[in-house]
């Protein structure tokens, strides 16, 4: 599904990460694999340390903290927020919507549209799409897109496949109307028939949580996890990314009438360095134009990795320059999405820690 | 198919000097999920073949993998 917009822009991006940073070495004892093998995996996959929440910190906590920072710095006014879109797969409650909870905690006006969108890896692009669609309404001048997840709380600490890579975090992206001088192109594809490639089997209504779903079971690779925990078929996801993502980007660039060289940066979702480097090689894009440094520094915080790749790698530059950026997300759903747009100069583009 | 290159790539992934058709995957020291993923990546990038972990699990030897790639890839 192709989308096209004009007259919209991102005016600021802030990422919020838990201050709690845990190095891989501190967790090696949890895995049933030998330390030597674990270190080999660390090198190949590119994990090193990750930011994970301590205790019962929730997605709304990270979002409220970030928004209060923006209010305090005079970068955003409460009364200007016309729509609050939260993309998360770790909501505070089944009900009410977490965006409603955030609205209540911040005392936002009643005339604000609050929407929770349940998407993950491709959630930044899907959130952007939603914001762009909303900005088509005369009454909506400013949309705040929140992406937030605390999925470390749903990954088994004994799962060497997933725990070293997982990260927690939130991002706040402010969107509003802009000059009509550049087009935004986007593309989304879905394949729910492969939904079991990345799933948290229990805890919803299909398979409610019970003592059985909390029991740890060992898989053929020696990883232990419960049905309440996230489980990923690494090979299925790897193949999916290699097969589906390059043609999606090609098609996006074609619809924009632009060659790959016209893109300044490919800010892609960061599952792990191995996958991203293989993808860059397949697309014949240099590793310098497709940063793959988020997992090793912060972990994979689902849809937050895309804005984080921008604030971490381009923070200062995006407040001064205008760059053509191709964003893409791929994973849980399965979903894959991409957005090609000019970003910058932004009013703010930074990172803060939640303690 | 460039057989020299196939054997050389596999030897590198399996962390040995050289490999032969009769070599059994499960007997390699480093045979784990990462090694399998590296072979899956190789199949995709060099031989245009989409290999699933369960497909690879069904191939006991280097020769079985070679036969699969000959049939399905370049």
Q: What is the domain partition of chain B in residue ranges?
A: 3-72
Residues of chain A in contact with residue B53, where contact means CB-CB under 8 angstroms, are 233-236
- pLDDT of the residue at B73: 66
Which of A236, A242, A274 is facing B52, going by the closest CB pair? Answer: A236
Predicted local confidence at residue A179, as pLDDT: 87
Averaged pLDDT for residues A296-321: 97
CB contact under 8 A, B41 and A238: yes
Minimal CA–CA distance to A118: which of A323, A344, A333, A328?
Answer: A333
Instruction: Give the pLDDT confidence of A232-285 residue by residue, as tens digits.
Output: 998 899 999 999 999 999 999 999 999 999 999 999 999 888 889 989 988 999
User: What average pLDDT does this structure show over A119-130?
Assistant: 98
Q: What's the rounded mean pLDDT across residues A128-143?
A: 98
* Distances A324 to A8, A131, A313, A353, B35 between C-alpha atoms, Å: 14, 19, 14, 28, 37
Question: What is the share, in percent, of chain A residues with pLDDT greater than 70?
Answer: 100
A343 vs A281 pLDDT, higher one: A343
Assign A167 a pLDDT band (cuts: 50, 70, 90). very high
Fold of B3-72: 1.10.1200
Q: What is the mean pLDDT of residues A17-32?
A: 92
Question: Using CA atoms, how far apart are residues A276 and A24, in angstroms rounded to an integer?
Answer: 20
- A147 and A304 Cβ atoms separated by less than 8 Å: yes
Task: Please check the confidence at residue A33 and state whether its pLDDT lies above 80.
Answer: no
**Nearest-CA distance B54 → chain A (Å):** 9
Per-residue pLDDT band for A182 (boundaries 50, 70, 90) equals: confident
Measured CA to CA, the distance from residue A57 to residue A18 in angstroms comes to: 9
User: Cβ B52–A238 below 8 Å, yes or no?
Assistant: no
Average pLDDT over residues A106-130: 98
CA pair distance A347, A64, nearest whole angstrom: 20
Q: Is A305 exposed, middle or buried (0-12, 13-18, 19+ CB in 10 A)?
A: buried
Give A44's contacts in chain B (Cβ within 8 Å): 34, 38
Q: B interface mutation test: which of A159, A239, A282 has the most B CBs within 10 A? A: A239
Cis check: omega of the bond before A334, within 30 degrees of 0? yes
Q: What is the pLDDT of residues A206-244, one digit of tens each?
A: 999 999 999 999 998 889 999 999 999 988 999 999 999
> 3-state DSSP call for residue A50?
strand
Q: For A131-149, what is the mean pLDDT?
A: 98
- pLDDT at position B1: 80
- What pLDDT is recorded for position A221? 83
Contact between B34 and A40 using a beta-carbon 8 Å cutoff: yes
Phi and psi angles of residue B68, each rounded to the nearest 5 degrees, phi first: -65, -45
Chain B residues in contact with A40 by the CB 8 A cut-off are 30, 34
Tell me which residue of B45, B51, B47 sits closest to B3, measured CA to CA. Answer: B47
Mean pLDDT, chain A, as a whole number? 95
Mean pLDDT of all residues in A57-84: 98
Give residue-wise pLDDT tens across range A1-24.
999 999 999 999 999 999 999 999
Q: Which chain B residues have a beta carbon less than 8 Å from that of A38?
A: none
Walking along chain B (74 residues) 10 residues at a time, the average pLDDT comes out as 91 93 93 88 87 92 94 72
Instruction: For domain A1-355, give the CATH number.
Output: 3.40.47.10
Q: How far apart are CA A122 and CA A105, in angstroms?
A: 27
Check whether A161 has a pLDDT greater than 90: no
pLDDT for the residue B74:
55
In contact, A122 and A159? CB cutoff 8 Å: no
Residue among B30, B32, B37 minimizing CB distance to A235:
B37
Q: Could you tell me which of A244, A59, A258, A240 has the C-alpha nearest to residue A153?
A: A59
Contact B50 A239 (CB under 8 A): yes
Look at strands A21-23 and A183-190 and give their pairing: unpaired
Partner-chain residue, chosen from B32, B36, B44, that has the shortest CB–CB distance to A242: B44
- Mutation target to probe the B interface, by most B beta carbons within 10 A, among A44, A218, A235 is A235
- Give the Cα separation of A237 and A235 in Å (integer): 5
Q: Residue B46: its pLDDT value, please?
A: 85
Question: Does A330 or A45 have the greater pLDDT score?
Answer: A330
Q: Which residue shows structure tokens 């491709």?
A: A122
- What is the predicted pLDDT for the residue at A332? 97
Beta-carbon separation of A243 and B36 below 8 A: no
pLDDT given for residue B30 in this prediction: 86
């Amino acid at each position: 599904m192709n989308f096209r917009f004009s007259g919209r822009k991102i005016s600021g991006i802030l990422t919020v990460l838990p201050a709690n940073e845990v190095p891989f070495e501190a967790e090696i004892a949890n895995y049933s694999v030998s330390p030597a093998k674990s270190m080999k995996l660390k090198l190949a996959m590119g994990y090193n340390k990750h930011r994970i929440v301590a205790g019962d910190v929730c997605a709304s906590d990270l979002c409220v903290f970030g928004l209060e920072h923006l209010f305090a710095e005079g970068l955003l006014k409460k009364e200007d927020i016309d729509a609050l879109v939260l993309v998360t797969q770790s909501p505070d409650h089944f009900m009410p919507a977490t965006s409603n909870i955030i609205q209540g905690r911040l005392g936002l006006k009643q005339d604000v549209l609050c929407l929770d969108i349940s998407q993950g890896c491709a959630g930044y692009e899907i959130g952007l799409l939603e914001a762009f669609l909303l900005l088509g309404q005369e009454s909506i001048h400013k949309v705040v897109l929140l992406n937030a997840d605390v999925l470390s709380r749903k990954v088994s600490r004994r799962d060497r496949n997933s725990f070293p890579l997982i990260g927690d975090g939130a991002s706040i992206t402010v969107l509003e109307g802009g000059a009509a001088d550049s087009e935004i192109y986007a593309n989304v594809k879905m394949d729910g028939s492969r939904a079991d490639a990345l799933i948290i089997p229990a805890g919803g209504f299909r398979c409610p949580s019970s003592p059985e779903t909390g029991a740890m079971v060992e898989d053929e690779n020696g990883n232990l996890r419960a049905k309440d925990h996230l489980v990923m078929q690494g090979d299925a996801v790897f193949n999916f990314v290699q097969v589906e993502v390059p043609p999606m980007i090609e098609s996006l660039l074609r619809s924009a009438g632009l060659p790959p060289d016209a893109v300044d940066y490919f800010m892609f979702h960061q599952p792990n360095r191995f996958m991203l480097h293989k993808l860059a090689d397949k697309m014949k894009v240099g590793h310098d134009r497709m940063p793959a440094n988020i997992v090793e520094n912060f972990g994979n915080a689902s849809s937050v990795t895309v804005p984080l790749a921008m604030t971490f790698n381009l923070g200062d530059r995006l407040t001064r320059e205008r760059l053509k950026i191709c964003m893409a997300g791929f994973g849980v759903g399965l979903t894959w999405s991409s957005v090609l747009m000019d970003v910058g100069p932004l009013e703010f583009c930074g990172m803060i820690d939640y303690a | 198919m460039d057989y020299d290159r196939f054997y050389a790539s596999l030897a590198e992934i399996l962390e040995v000097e050289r490999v032969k058709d009769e070599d059994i995957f499960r007997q390699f020291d480093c045979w784990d999920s990462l090694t399998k993923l590296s072979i899956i990546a190789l199949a995709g990038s060099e031989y245009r073949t989409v290999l699933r972990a369960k497909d690879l699990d069904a191939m006991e030897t280097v020769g079985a993998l070679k036969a699969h790639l000959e049939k399905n890839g370049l």
